[in-house]
Amino acid sequence: MNGIKTAMLLAALTALFMALGYMFGGTGGAGIALIVAAGMNLFTYWNADSIVLRMHNAREVDARSAPEFYAIVERLARNAGLPMPRVYLIDTQAPNAFATGRNPENAAVAATTGLLSMLSREEVAGVMAHELGHVRNRDTLIMTMVATIAGAISMIANFGLFFGGHSDNRPHPLAAIAAVVMAPFAAMIVQMAISRTREFGADKAGAEISGNPRALASALAKIAGPAAHLPNPAVERNPATAQLYIVPSHVSELFSTHPATEKRIAALMAMGGGGTAAAVSVPRAGAAPKRSALDPNRLH
């Protein structure tokens, strides 16, 4: 099923790419856009994970450089019946995590140092189990390809506004401005068509892999607010990368590719044997987080 979704999403984004090419360059522009899109799809299939990790300045760690964090991922990968993914850390205060890679054999998971310093060991395990849920459900290919292609759509829209076509076939300025505004919006709508159910699926898989749905619910409650407000340079440079994360980063709920965090918490609490979202402890604004079970001095 995910293979069909991937093909449909990439076809829609390719069509949008061609429409922009036609608007700014006529039939020839549409043909060039098709060639570029085909090449981009092929390139991102093999390299999207590396592109996304470089966007975030992620650094790979192992059992020597980050023993506690690496051991958590290693245990969860065994629980999930998955090959051990590559493990990365991102040096930023914004608490978040994501998974990438075209298949389970070529997967990688990444977490920010902000996430590790904010959460307990059990909560970190819940978050990374969610990311391994994406790997097991084979969501990571579509997530990473969309992040790069949707970003390219925004780029070509802005490029075409200033350099598209000759004077006789250049689009009307108002039409060009509309394309610049609407093309990224249309790409986002295409993403949203499948992304929200995908997150519920990864939450469920993560609860099964970690065996502790309440810890994942607690982690979501703690990181949702800070992730939305703390600076995230990668998202500011390329907003399409926001859909990679476990919680939205700098995106309003209306335009988020994720379901509301409260709904995700409620579903996890139901899996955990009862309780409500209100039962999950959320730190007060400005309150100092509890010390993480992961020693920050052993993350480098």
What are the structural domain ranges in the chain?
2-283
**What is the C-alpha separation between 264 and 224, in angstroms, rounded?**
11
pLDDT of residue 285: 38
* C-beta of residue 290 within 8 angstroms of C-beta of residue 118: no
Would you list which residues are annotated within the binding site for Zn(2+)? 130, 134, 199
pLDDT of residue 197: 75
For 209, counting Cβ atoms within 10 Å of its Cβ (0-12 exposed, 13-18 middle, 19+ buried), the class is buried
Among residues 108, 127, 119, the alpha carbon closest in space to that of 290 is found at 119
**What is the C-alpha separation between 211 and 261, in angstroms, rounded?**
20
pLDDT of residue 74: 98
pLDDT of residue 106: 93
pLDDT in tens, 77-129: 999 999 999 999 999 999 999 999 989 999 999 999 999 999 999 999 999 99
Going residue by residue through the chain (300 aa), what tens digit of pLDDT does each one get? 556 666 776 777 777 777 777 776 778 777 877 787 777 777 777 887 888 899 899 999 999 999 999 999 999 999 999 999 999 999 999 999 999 998 999 999 999 999 999 999 999 999 999 999 999 998 887 776 766 666 666 666 666 555 554 445 555 555 555 555 555 555 555 555 556 678 899 999 999 999 999 999 999 999 998 988 888 887 777 766 777 889 877 554 444 557 788 999 999 999 976 554 444 554 443 444 444 556 544 554
Among residues 203, 201, 202, the alpha carbon closest in space to that of 214 is found at 203
Both tokens of residue 26?
A: 């006529």
Question: What are the phi and psi torsion angles at 84 (to 5°)?
Answer: -65, 120
Q: Which residues are catalytic, by number?
A: 131
pLDDT in tens, 265-281: 999 999 976 554 444 55
